[in-house]
């Protein structure tokens, strides 16, 4: 064997040292499902395994033809239908059996939590909860506290830091899948696991491991492929097939060294704000594919160093483990919102980030300020968009840098514009504001259904949606603060977001008509406005 190459079964020489090829995805999997925040925290992981993933797989096994027909209908993309074939039924059966064995304790926790929570909410009405501790089932003992709110509504508070010590095997199911599937062709993240025939390479390693960190840095740095293969527990020849001896394209953009503030829109809710001294990245999700008809920036257009990473909330299109594990070697500080501690719907993002290998994580409460070179970042209130759940870990941002002022209202519905009206002295005359207008979001049950201890009736479910601002709400906010420019973003329409969002708008979709109306109102008032799609760059 040559000292510079590895012999592969294909007889094609492969590099001993090299760089991960540009088109290769590093996809984090939790129990073979695309990893997202609720699969990184033990209680939420247990509830999703028991009440989302196992039921959908058992449904596929019982009626594969129904799932197959639905998954072939473009209008059903994003629905609860497994996109596998008839030949995958045996693999699905084996998968269910393996999951039930590996996560037996987690599944027991989920069922015990749901049953006890239902009993507690039905029976406890203000009398002391001491006697209820004697009724705690085995998996809840030592992991929860029982509380009331001021109106005598009982609640189970999860002791996250204690539950992390329990043997729930969350890390045991963590794997990395290397593959070349185009972003626009990836299966919907909530409905289809990576089982059956895989056109890729699996490595079973925790996301926080040094091996995963080294794999991710191999996009930008020459790497010992044989040594990395040993760390990942895979064959060197299999791993080398995803590497090239010399980089065929630039692996990162030069840091901005011009005058003023450069703003780059990477698609959906991902925005990079740069000065000569500071780089700030917000809600990272990227395209990994460089060859698309839609003009766009990719991961490879990021600067070598990101000083501050701002995370607005835990939804998968804003807090994305696939992006986060590949950024951790380039990020200085990460800033997240404070959670509603112990609430099942509101896991701690700081704790999850540590499980992704981050250590420099800071938590902000609303109106807290973070000093940065050339200015500061203020955490702003983020109202709505979470189906009326008592979720606190969400924040908008005001960035003041080199005398420029940019506000990101993320997915806030701004339903009570007086919240922001109280901040008008801080917000008046912004240079740019970004506002999300996915104004007819998914219903409550789509993301949070597995966490509920009672059946969510259809009427309530349809009324409580994960919706951003509509035209009226966005315009009321804009009219009060009078920005010079306004951009609609976070619409989920870029092709690389399809597998995460499941959205397929038409020109007549309410999201398009409402955002068109908003842009028209802004323009009529002399405010430069546009709905962003793909990429945008401007210098202030």
Question: Tokens standing for 390?
Answer: 């008592």
Half-sphere exposure of residue 18: CA atoms within 13 angstroms, side-chain side = 25
Give this prediction's pTM: 0.94
Answer whether 28's CB lies under 8 Å from 176's CB: yes
pLDDT at 415: 86
Other CB atoms within 10 Å distance of the CB of residue 10 = 9
Q: Is the pLDDT of residue 440 over 60?
A: yes
How many other β-carbons are positioned within 10 Å of the β-carbon of residue 291? 8
Other CB atoms within 10 A of residue 232 CB: 23
The three-point CA angle 220-226-230 to 5° equals: 105
**Averaged over 287-315, what is the pLDDT?**
90
Q: Would you state the pLDDT for residue 311?
A: 98
- Could you say which of 3.10.20.30, 3.60.15.10, 3.30.365.10, 3.30.310.220 is the CATH number of the domain covering 262-539? 3.60.15.10
Mean pLDDT for the chain? 93
Q: Give mean pLDDT, residues 242-267.
A: 87
N- to C-terminal Cα separation, the chain: 56
Average pLDDT over every residue of 71-96: 92
Above 50 in pLDDT, residue 4? no
Please compute the mean of the pLDDT values over residues 398-426 and round it to a whole number: 92
Average pLDDT of span 178-189: 91
Percent of the chain at pLDDT above 90? 81
User: Residue 154: pLDDT above 90?
Assistant: yes
How does pLDDT run across 187-232, given as a tens digit for each residue?
Answer: 999 999 999 888 899 999 999 999 999 999 999 899 999 999 999 9
Average pLDDT over residues 84-98: 95
Structure tokens at 398: 């005001």
**10 phi and psi, to 5 degrees?**
-75, -5
Using CA atoms, how far residue 482 sits from 209, 405, 476, 540, in Å, is: 47, 12, 10, 17
Q: How confident is the model at residue 114 (pLDDT cuts 50, 70, 90)?
A: very high
Buried b (16+ CB within 10 A) or exposed e, 186-200: bbbbbbbbbbeeeeb
Instruction: Look at residue 78 in the predicted model and tell me its pLDDT.
Output: 86
- Residue 3: what pLDDT? 38
Could you give the C-alpha distances from 321 to 37, 325, 330, 498, in angstroms and in order?
A: 7, 6, 15, 16
Q: Where are the domains of the chain?
A: 5-102+170-244, 104-163, 262-539
Give the pLDDT confidence of 488-537 residue by residue, as tens digits: 999 999 999 999 998 888 889 999 999 999 999 999 999 999 999 999 99
Query: How many residues are given for the chain?
Result: 540
CA dihedral over 497, 503, 507, 512, signed as positive or negative: negative
Give the separation between CA 162 and CA 221, rounded to whole angstroms.
38
Tell me what pLDDT residue 341 has.
86
Task: Inform me whether the pLDDT recorded for 7 exceeds 70.
Answer: no
pLDDT in tens, 161-174: 999 988 788 899 99
Q: Is the pLDDT of residue 1 over 60?
A: no
In angstroms, the CA 508 to CA 281 distance is 33
Rounded distance between C-alpha atoms, residue 215 and residue 200, angstroms: 15
Statement: residue 9 has pLDDT above 70: no
| Sign of torsion over alpha carbons 436, 439, 442, 443 | positive
**Can you tell me the distance from the alpha carbon of 336 to that of 392, in angstroms, rounded to the nearest whole number?**
11
| Under 8 Å between Cβ of 276 and 515 | no
> What is the mean predicted confidence (pLDDT) over 88-102?
96
Distance, in Å, from the CA atom of 410 to the CA atom of 397, rounded to the nearest integer, reads 8
Phi, psi torsion values for 476, nearest 5 degrees: -60, -45
Written as six digits, the tokens of 297 are 């920036």
Residue 268 has a pLDDT of 95
Report residue 299 as tokens. Answer: 């991961």
pLDDT band at 251; cut points 50, 70, 90? low
Please state the rounded mean pLDDT for residues 10-15: 63
Are 437 and 385 in contact by the 8 Å Cβ rule? The answer is: no
């Amino acid at each position: 064997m040559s000292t510079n190459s590895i012999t592969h079964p294909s007889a094609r020489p492969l590099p001993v040292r090299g760089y991960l090829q540009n088109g290769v995805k590093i996809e984090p999997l939790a129990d073979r499902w695309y990893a997202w925040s609720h699969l990184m925290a033990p209680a939420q992981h247990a509830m999703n395994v028991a009440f989302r993933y196992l039921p959908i797989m058992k449904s596929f096994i019982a009626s594969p033809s129904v799932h197959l027909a639905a998954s072939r209908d473009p209008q059903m993309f994003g629905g609860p239908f497994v996109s596998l074939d008839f030949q995958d039924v045996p693999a699905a059966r084996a998968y269910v059996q393996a999951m039930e064995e590996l996560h037996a304790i987690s599944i027991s926790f989920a069922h015990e939590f749901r049953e006890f929570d239902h009993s507690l909410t039905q029976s406890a009405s203000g009398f002391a909860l001491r006697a209820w501790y004697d009724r705690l089932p085995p998996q809840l003992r030592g992991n929860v506290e029982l509380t009331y709110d001021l109106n005598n509504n009982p609640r189970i508070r999860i002791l996250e830091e204690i539950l992390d010590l329990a043997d729930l095997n969350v890390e045991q199911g963590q794997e990395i899948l290397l593959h070349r599937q185009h972003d626009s062709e990836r299966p919907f993240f909530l409905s289809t696991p990576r089982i059956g025939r895989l056109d890729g390479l699996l490595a079973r390693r925790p996301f926080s491991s040094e091996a995963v960190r080294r794999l991710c840095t191999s996009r930008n740095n020459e790497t010992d492929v044989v040594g990395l293969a040993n760390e990942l527990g895979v064959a060197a020849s299999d791993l080398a097939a995803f590497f090239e001896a010399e980089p065929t394209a630039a692996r990162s953009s030069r840091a901005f060294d011009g005058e003023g503030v450069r703003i780059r829109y990477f698609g959906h809710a991902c925005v990079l704000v740069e000065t000569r001294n500071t780089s700030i990245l917000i809600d990272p999700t990227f395209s990994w594919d460089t060859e698309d008809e839609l003009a766009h920036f990719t991961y490879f257009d990021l600067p070598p160093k990101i000083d501050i990473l701002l995370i607005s909330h835990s939804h998968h299109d804003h807090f994305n483990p696939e992006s986060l594990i590949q950024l951790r070697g380039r990020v200085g500080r990460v800033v997240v919102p404070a959670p509603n501690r112990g609430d099942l719907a509101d896991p701690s993002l700081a704790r999850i980030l540590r499980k992704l290998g981050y250590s420099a994580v800071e938590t902000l409460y609303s109106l807290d300020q973070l000093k940065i070179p050339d200015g500061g970042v203020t955490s702003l209130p983020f109202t709505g968009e979470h189906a009326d759940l008592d979720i606190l870990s969400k924040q908008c941002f005001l960035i003041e840098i080199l005398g420029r002022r940019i506000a990101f209202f993320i997915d806030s519905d701004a339903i009570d514009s007086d919240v922001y009206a109280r901040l008008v002295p801080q917000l008046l005359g912004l240079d740019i504001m970004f506002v999300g207008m996915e104004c007819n979001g998914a219903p409550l049950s789509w993301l949070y259904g597995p966490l509920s201890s009672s059946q969510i009736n259809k009427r309530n479910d349809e009324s409580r949606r994960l919706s951003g601002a509509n035209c009226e709400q966005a315009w009321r906010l804009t009219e009060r603060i009078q920005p010079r420019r306004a951009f609609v973003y976070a619409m989920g329409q870029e092709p690389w977001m399809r597998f995460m969002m499941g959205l397929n708008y038409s020109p007549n979709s309410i999201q398009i008509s409402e955002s068109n109306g908003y842009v028209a109102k802004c323009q009529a008032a002399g405010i430069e406005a546009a709905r962003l799609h793909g990429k945008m760059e401007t210098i202030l």
